[in-house]
Amino acid sequence: MGSATVVASVQGKQPLFSFGVISDVQYADIPDGRSFIGVPRYYRHSLLVLQRAVQNWNNHQKLKFAINFGDIVDGFCPKDQSLNVVKKIVNEFDKFNGPVYHMIGNHCLYNLPRDKLLPLLKIPSTDRHAYYDFSPTPEYRFVVLDGYDISAIGWPQDHPHTLEALKFLREKNPNTEKNSPAGLLGLERRFLMFNGAVGKEQMEWLDSILQGATKLKQKVVVCCHLPLDPDATSQEALLWNYNEVMDVIHRYNCVKVCLAGHDHKGGHSIDAHGIHHRVFEAALECPPGTDAFGYIDVYDNKLSLVGSDRMQSTDMYFSP
């Protein structure tokens, strides 16, 4: 047996493929600040975190693609700079030697409307919807959900999806400040303007994708800026209709892992159906010199997140 074979057998099975992950870069050329609950936010340093992520992914040499989980620019970015800042950050992602799949977050939509944003992020779209899927190998399918499909941000003010979202918020959140969860109890605390929902058409699309994946015996990884499981996130960060989306997902056995951003502290849970939910730690909240990015090795029975620094490494085992 040659020495390379010995090393490979000691280290165990090789992954089917690997991909890079990062979330909530939320770059802006403004001084450091804090979240509403006082957590420091390093708006300029987050660019350095992204640059180190891309360098790390390129050094790895075997990553097939990378996924950005949304919010590449912060809502405090001066609006006359939004377009250039989004271009600048996309350009940093483009230094990765492979395709980058983006998704939209609330902060992206505070800066630019969908019709400007989606082409810049190269999100394949009809009717300005930002959901899509791709299959990097025959065994796997990735589904990218648009968590701001029904949303009070990002659509024109008179768009049916804006009106539906405003009506929903009026019914569910009695506060004048619709980003305030004051008085809302438990899971109701998700009914905030900085969240959104998956609409009817997208739900039907998701169902058809999962049906197709099941026929092809593909395992599915669902990606969304907004988390889909209450045990992996603060209640304030959940997708409004996470329960309806999970009802569709639970009708099939093909979804193994759901990945998200938005809740900057990160989290991990395994739901009652054995599906892993991993919410990524934010690049924005890395104190200078620290990092939060990673890559995921994909096997037939697990996804193994190798995190850098503040991003916790996580093994996510499932039945193949």
Ligand X SMILES: O=P(O)(O)OC[C@H](O)CO
Coil, helix or strand at residue 162: helix
Residue with tokens 């992996």: 232
- Sorted by sequence, the CB contacts under 8 Å of residue 265 that are 6+ apart come out as 39, 234, 281, 282, 285
Residue 68, interface with ligand X (CB under 6 A)? no
> Which residue among 123, 165, 220, 237 contacts ligand X (CB under 6 A)?
237
Segment contacting ligand X by CB under 6 A, of 59-67, 143-151, 153-161, 256-264: 256-264
Residue 281, interface with ligand X (CB under 6 A)? no
Question: Mask 179-198, x = binds ligand X (CB under 6 A)?
Answer: ---------------x----
Segment contacting ligand X by CB under 6 A, of 138-146, 163-171, 209-217, 259-267: 259-267
Question: Among ligand X, ligand L45E5XJ5, none, what does residue 181 contact (CB within 5–8 Å per kind)?
Answer: ligand L45E5XJ5
Segment contacting ligand X by CB under 6 A, of 4-12, 209-217, 229-237, 242-250: 229-237
Coil, helix or strand at residue 10: helix
Residue 262, interface with ligand X (CB under 6 A)? yes
Q: What is the C-alpha separation between 193 and 279, in angstroms, rounded?
A: 20
Reading the block at residue 159, the tokens are 């768009």
Nearest approach, Cβ of residue 212 and ligand X (Å): 32
Whether residue 50 contacts residue 57, with contact meaning beta carbons closer than 8 Å, is answered with no
Give the residue with the Cβ less far from ligand X, 135 or 180: 180
Question: Among ligand L45E5XJ5, ligand X, none, what does residue 177 contact (CB within 5–8 Å per kind)?
Answer: ligand L45E5XJ5
Torsions phi, psi for 207 (to 5 deg): -55, -45
Reading the block at residue 297, the tokens are 């090795």
Bridge partners for 235 per DSSP: none
> Which residue among 23, 82, 151, 234 contacts ligand X (CB under 6 A)?
234
Please give the residue ranges that form the binding site for ligand L45E5XJ5 (CB under 6 A).
Answer: 35-37, 177, 179-181, 194
Nearest approach, Cβ of residue 69 and ligand X (Å): 11
Pairing assessment for the beta strands 17-22 and 63-68 based on DSSP bridges: parallel
Whether residue 68 contacts residue 25, with contact meaning beta carbons closer than 8 Å, is answered with yes
Residue 229, interface with ligand X (CB under 6 A)? no
Residue 106, interface with ligand X (CB under 6 A)? yes
Reading the block at residue 274, the tokens are 């054995």
- Among left, alpha and beta (phi > 0; psi -120 to 50; other), residue 289 is left
Element (H, E) at 115: helix 114-120
Closest C-alpha among 84, 122, 86, 83 to residue 103: 122
Question: Mask 135-174, x = binds ligand X (CB under 6 A)?
Answer: ----------------------------------------
Residue whose C-beta lies closest to ligand X: 237
Which positions touch ligand X (CB under 6 A)?
A: 24, 71, 106-107, 194, 234, 236-237, 262-264
